[in-house]
Amino acid sequence: MFDYRFRDSADNIGEQSRDILSDFNFSSLLGEIPNMIIILNSNRQIVYMNKKFSWAIGKSGTTVSSEKRPGECMLCVHAVNSEYGCGSTEFCRVCGFATALGKSEGGKSATGECNITLEKGETMTFRVHTRPFTHKGRDYVFAYMQDISDFKTRQMLENIFLHDINNSITSLNGLNELIDDLPAEDIKTVVNDLSTRLTDEVHSYRLITEAESRRLSVNVAKVSIDPLIRSVINSMLKTRFFQDRKVHYKGTGLVINTDEALLRRVVINALKNALEASSNNEEVTITAEPGNTPGGINIKVKSLPLIPEEVQLQLFQRSFSTKGPGRGWGTYSIRLLTESYLGGKVSFVSGRDTGTVFTVSIPSLNHI
């Protein structure tokens, strides 16, 4: 049974690797397969990796062993920051790779999906197939991995984009049927709402696509926080979905050197998530305060509803959404834009005493 506290020594790992490869006539074939293959021992340490996996983690491309576990090799942010590493954190409970390995350690073949969260807010998504086997009295797991990051991104973007376009078309059709019976002011409100929503979704689609492909440029300028946050609040509360909601913000007069468009998108998504989670009688609060670095700021968005623990553990993953498979890019995009492009950090707390508070910490980007 796997116990994350124990590992084999480098000498033992090397012995296991040589032992397996010397008895596998097809080891050279495994090395050339274009998808990632690894073999793990009972402590989930890698005793064999093929060239594809080796290249993926920045090695020479040769078939080698490693004392490390998969998440540590792939620089999963949770694994590298944990005392016992991959397989030991609370986030590993919702990892599809860890779940599949657990099933194979129990004697069954398994398939799962795994989101590896990297530094700077990026995510890699894999489909993993695992199968147990025994060799010379030792138990191993054969793992076959496919990088489906691009597929998941495309699926998410297309699903969201097409979903919102379809909703807008449905609203337009309904408006067309009632146009002769509605006051002109009501028609204007609906049209403005649809126009704002479609413009926002198109902009979001382009922004996330460019951010994922590393084509997004950062344009630094002096940004006044008060008008930025107030304009986001006003535009959000003008939509018919949130027109009865309450948002409180007290001005601070803060100014920061950053990319205004990217910061605006971060604030939009943070506020939108909070409003979607709240009811009409629950106020959402936004605060801005000086940050921990010179010229930096912390923006906090607080709502009352609590986030379930299982949701908390998956909150910043690309393909996770409480709206269903392939839906939603709010928290993932907040982290991606903040950490990959604005040089900041995103964190949250969710408890009975605090409510749910997302904190976006942005440093001053002084290269203007």
pLDDT at 368 over 70: no
- Residue 255 pLDDT > 90: yes
Shared domain check, 170 and 123: no
HSE-up of residue 138 (Cα within 13 Å, Cβ side): 20
Task: Please say if the pLDDT value at position 353 is more than 70.
Answer: yes
Instruction: Kindly report the CATH number assigned to the domain that includes residue 312.
Output: 3.30.565.10
296 domain residue, yes or no? yes
Considering only CA atoms, which of 221, 213, 215 is closest in space to residue 149? 213
Distance CA 130, CA 82 (A): 24
Domain boundary, last residue among 98, 126, 147: 147
Last-in-domain residue among 88, 115, 147: 147
Report for 100-109, 240-249, 334-343: range of highest mean pLDDT: 100-109
Does residue 313 surpass a pLDDT of 60?
Answer: yes
Q: Do 119 and 240 sit in the same domain of this protein?
A: no
Q: Are residues 218 and 345 in the same domain?
A: yes
Query: Does residue 277 share a domain with residue 163?
Result: yes
Report whether pLDDT(62) > 70: no
Task: Quote the tokens at residue 255.
Answer: 């100014």
Cβ pair 48, 140 in contact under 8 A: no
Tell me the two tokens of residue 125.
């998504």
Q: Which of 64-68, 92-96, 299-303 has the highest mean pLDDT?
A: 299-303
Percent of the chain whose pLDDT exceeds 70: 88
Q: 24-51 as b/e, with b when 16 or more CB fall inside 10 Å?
A: eeeeeebbeeeebbbbbbbbbbbbbbbb
Length of the chain, in residues: 368
Mean pLDDT of the chain: 85
* More confident call, 167 vs 17: 17
Structural domains counted in the chain = 2
| The pTM of the whole model exceeds 0.75 | no
Q: Which of 92, 112, 147 is the last residue of a domain?
A: 147
Cα end-to-end distance, the chain, whole Å: 56
**Residue-number span of the structural domain to which 233 is assigned:** 151-362
**Within a domain: 207:** yes
Tokens of 325: 């498979």
> In the predicted model, is pLDDT for residue 367 greater than 70?
no
pLDDT tens track for 168-207: 677 777 777 777 777 877 777 777 777 777 777 777 777 8
Q: Which of 149, 119, 116 is closest to 317 using CA atoms?
A: 116
Give domain status of residue 23, yes or no: yes
So what's the pLDDT on residue 95?
92
